[in-house]
């Protein structure tokens, strides 16, 4: 064991997507230097690795997402828990080993990354679409930056990874496929019409399992922490609003809440931006109230998140819906988050 040292397509635009498209183009083919059928080899930087991962995810309508079995979910949970406990040994459970690699990237904050690499059928896409998890052993902030809808919420993976690095957060969690990769509907929340590949609406996804591991980790050590999920909204959604932030709950936040500080800090970066929370005007209904990870962090039991909404918010989960101009404002989000969590 090696301990870590020191421890929907319409939601984007060509402008917001440009950074991702440029980065992804460098990885449009299987990276050279690795074993046959293994993607994204020989990459030393987290930014380049995430660009490669995004370029090789199952796309919308591809049918490329494979729902994980119970044993695979348990293996993922154990692996994430070990990473949070500062373990980055290459060996993985048998259920994950064919598909995943755990890599020590090091750097200033000490990064360990769990990344899916197997492309056994040679189609240029990973075979499962399960996602990526990264942990910093020397973070400055107990923040967890998350992207449940890569490819669909265009450019959020590029934005969130840059924020993760820029604020020295504890972890980065990226879903492994387009939310509409498969035609099969969610059995967790069938009434929403979402697909089984949607990490925000399925309790069987490895994305949700990672959130469970985070929740249990912090419950055990008693530290304050916050998960920030970046989403995208289309130009016609919530007219007059550039970004809408909630606790995954429809009620207005209380005076003194961190989300109000974040609203003030990001709004101060550009006076033209309209940044709102529940209770503000113009109104927005994209509260994230059905998000299963948000429900969990708002203290809904894990076995009830599919059908049961939260009755209050904990402050541990911040759900950000944003239009393309805010997705492009990466430096502003970094400055605002750093000012909020000093």
Tokens of 212: 């469970």
pLDDT over 90 (residue 21): no
**Which tokens hold the place of 104?**
């020590």
The pLDDT assigned to 28 comes to: 39
Residue 114 is encoded by which pair of tokens?
A: 């769990």
Which pLDDT band holds residue 192 (cuts at 50, 70, 90)? confident
The structure tokens 């075979």 sit at 127
pTM: 0.90
Residue 233 above 50 pLDDT?
yes
Peptide bond into 282 cis (omega under 30): yes
Average pLDDT over residues 120-125: 94
DSSP state string for 186-198: PSSSGGGT-BTT-
Residue 19 has pLDDT above 90, yes or no: no
Q: Which of 16-25, 86-95, 124-133, 233-242 has the lowest mean pLDDT?
A: 16-25
Cβ-contact 333, 262 below 8 angstroms = no
CB-based contact 175:207 (threshold 8 Å): yes
Q: How far apart are CA 31 and CA 4, in angstroms?
A: 27
Q: Residue 291 pLDDT > 60, yes or no? A: yes
- For the segment 281-290, what is each residue's pLDDT rounded down to a tens digit? 999 999 999 9
> What's residue 63's pLDDT?
97
**Tokens 């074993």 appear where?**
35
3-state per-residue secondary structure call for 85-149: CCECCCCCCCCCCCCEEEEEEECCCCEEEEEECECCCCCCCCCCCCCEEEEECCCCEEEEEEECC
Q: Is the pLDDT confidence value at 297 over 90?
A: yes
Average pLDDT of the segment spanning 128-147:
98
């Amino acid at each position: 064991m090696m301990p870590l040292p020191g421890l929907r397509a319409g939601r984007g635009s060509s402008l917001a997507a440009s950074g991702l498209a440029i980065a992804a183009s460098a990885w449009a083919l299987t990276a050279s230097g690795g074993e046959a059928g293994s993607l994204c080899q020989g990459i030393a930087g987290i930014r380049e690795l995430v660009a490669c991962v995004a370029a090789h995810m199952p796309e919308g309508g591809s049918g490329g997402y494979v729902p994980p079995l119970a044993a695979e979910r348990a293996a993922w949970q154990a692996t994430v828990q070990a990473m949070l406990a500062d373990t980055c040994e290459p060996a993985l459970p048998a259920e994950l080993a064919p598909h995943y690699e755990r890599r020590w990237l090091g750097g200033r904050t000490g990064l360990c990354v769990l990344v899916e690499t197997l492309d056994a059928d040679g189609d240029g896409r990973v075979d499962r679409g399960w996602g990526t998890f990264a942990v910093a052993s020397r973070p400055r902030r107990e923040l967890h930056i998350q992207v449940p809808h890569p490819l669909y919420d265009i450019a959020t993976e590029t934005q969130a990874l840059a924020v993760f690095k820029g604020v020295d957060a504890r972890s980065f969690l990226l879903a492994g496929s387009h939310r509409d990769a498969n035609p099969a509907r969610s059995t967790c929340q069938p009434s929403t019409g979402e697909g089984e590949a949607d990490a925000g609406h399925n309790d069987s996804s490895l994305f949700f399992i990672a959130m469970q591991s985070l929740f249990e980790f912090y419950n055990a050590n008693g530290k304050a922490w916050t998960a920030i999920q970046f989403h995208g909204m289309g130009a016609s959604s919530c007219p007059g609003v550039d970004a809408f932030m909630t606790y995954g709950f429809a009620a207005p936040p209380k005076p003194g809440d961190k989300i109000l500080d974040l609203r003030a800090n990001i709004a101060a970066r550009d006076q033209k931006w309209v940044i709102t929370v529940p209770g503000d005007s113009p109104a927005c209904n994209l509260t994230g109230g059905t998000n299963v990870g948000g429900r969990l962090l708002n203290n809904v039991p894990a076995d009830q998140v599919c059908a049961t909404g939260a009755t209050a918010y904990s402050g541990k989960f911040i759900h950000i819906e944003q239009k393309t101009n805010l997705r492009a404002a990466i430096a502003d989000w970094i400055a605002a988050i750093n000012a909020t969590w000093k």
